[in-house]
Amino acid sequence: MEEAQRRALRRGRARLVAALRVAPLWDPLEERGLFTRPMLEELQSAGSRGEQARQLIIDLETRGKQAFPTFLSILRDTGQGGLADMLIEECECLPGPPQPIDLRPVELDLRGEKHNKSARFPERLSVPVQAESERPRTPPVLALGSAVDKRNHDLVYELKGDPCGRCLILNNVNFGRDSNLSTREGSDVDCEKLEKRFKTLRFDVLTRRDLKAQEMASELQKLARQDHSALDCCVVVILSHGCQTSHIQFPGGVYGTDGNSIPIEKIVNYFNGSHCPSLRGKPKLFFIQACGGEQRDRGFVVDCDSPGDEAPGGSLESDAIPFQPPSANVDEPDAVASLPTPSDILVSYSTFPGFVSWREVSSGSWYVETLDSVLEQYASSEDLLNMLLRVANAVSAKGTYKQIPGCFNFLRKKFFFACK
C-alpha cells in the first residue's frame, strides 16, 4: 500500500470508526482475498462494532498494494460509497510519498578490524491494543523467601503456585526466501538459556520454533484462551526480526518467518482482561528480543565514572527492518479516547524504539545473555524492575555500536520471581 493511502486511512479513521458498517464487509473481504477466515474471526473478536472497525482499518495497511482500491470497491458494493469518496478525497489532498532512503548494508568496525559482514535486519511490528482495567478479585499476599517476606505484602504480587505460570517462547531463526530476512544465527543459544532459566523460576515452558505470522498469532491466542485460574503469572518471550511501526500504546512489531509482522500491541491485547479473564489482576510479562528500527547508535563520549566500553567478539548482527515514518496526522482523537489504562503488564524491549538490537552468532543476543545472567544472580533477592535496570546498565556498556534496553511498565506492584 502506498504511503499516501496509509495516511488517508489514518486521517479518515475517526469517521470510519463512527460510521462504518462492518457486518456486510466480512464475506467480500474474504472473497476478494484481503483477509483469511482466521484473520476475520480475530477482527470480529475485537469487541464492539467501533472497535472492530478500528482494528480493520489498522490491519488493512498491512494487506498489500491492492488493499486500498479493493477496499474502496467493497465499500461501494455494500452501499457505503460515501466513505469511499471520503477516503479518495483524503488521498488526493495529501502530498506524494517521500523518496526512499538508502538502507544498503554497512560494514561494522569491531576491535579495529573490518568485518565484511552485511548488517542484519532488525525486527518488526504493527498496531493497536485494548488495555486492561479490571482489578484483582483478591489482594495478593506473597511468601517467597526471607528477602521478600520482609517487604510490604500488599505491594508485592503473589506467586504461590507450582508452576507459578506458563511461559511461551517463540523462536524464529530461519526465514522464507521471499521475506528478505536473514537467518538469525545465535537465536537458538538465546532460546536454550531462557528455557532453562524460566524452568528454574518455576514456569511451565513451551517453545515454538520458526513460525509464520499467523502461526505465531495462533500460539499466542491459544495460550491466552487457556485457563490460568490456578496460576499466578504468564510470560511471553519472542525472539525474531522486528521493526518500527505506528502504534497507540506499545511500539514495535515482530516478524513471522513468512515476512509478515505482528504488532506488539496486538500481542499484548490477546492477554488483556477482555480476552483472558483468568489472568485479570495477575502479572503478564513480555520479553522482546527484536529490533525496534534500523538506526545504529554509536553512543557519546562519557567521563571516567561511566561504564567502560566492551568490545564483544564474534560475528555481530542486528534484527532490524526499516520503517517509513508516518505524517504528523497519524491518528484522530477516537483512536485513544476510549482506551482504558492497562494494568498488570510489563513489556521489556531489548532496545530503544527505532534502534537495532545486536546479536552474536556464538553467544546470542546482548540482551538475552545479560538478562539470563542477571536472573541467575539476583532473581532470589531483587524485584524484576531492579533487575531490568541492571540489564540496561550492563548492555549499554557493550560494543562499538550501542544498545539500551528498556520497558513499558504497567505493573501495580513489585514482582519477585519464585526460584526453585
Name the residue with cell 483469511: 36
Query: Do 220 and 235 touch, CB atoms closer than 8 A?
Result: no
Check residue 112 and give left, alpha or beta (phi > 0: left; psi -120 to 50: alpha): left
CA distance 60 to 45: 16
Q: Using DSSP, state whether 191 is helix, strand or coil.
A: helix
Q: Which residues does 412 contact at the CB level (< 8 Å), separation at least 6?
A: 343, 344
Cell numbers placing 7: 495516511
Name the residue with cell 505524517: 327
Q: Using DSSP, state whether 15 is helix, strand or coil.
A: helix
**361 closest CA partner among 216, 183, 225:** 183
Q: How far is CA 407 from the centre of its chain?
A: 11
Q: Which residues does 176 contact at the CB level (< 8 Å), separation at least 6?
A: 257, 258, 259
Q: Where are the alpha helices (DSSP H) in 210-263?
A: 213-225
Q: Using DSSP, state whether 363 is helix, strand or coil.
A: coil
Q: How far is CA 14 from the centre of its chain?
A: 25
Q: Which residues does 49 contact at the CB level (< 8 Å), separation at least 6?
A: 21, 22, 23
CA distance 261 to 286: 17
Residue type, 243: C
Clarify whether 291 is annotated catalytic: yes
**Phi, psi dihedrals of residue 391, rounded to the nearest 5°:** -60, -45
Query: Do 243 and 205 touch, CB atoms closer than 8 A?
Result: no
Active-site position among 191, 243, 276, 291: 291
Active-site position among 241, 243, 247, 276: 241
Q: How many helices (H) and strands (E) does the chain have?
A: 14, 15
Clarify whether 164 is annotated catalytic: no
Give the residue numbers annotated as catalytic, written as ranges: 241, 291
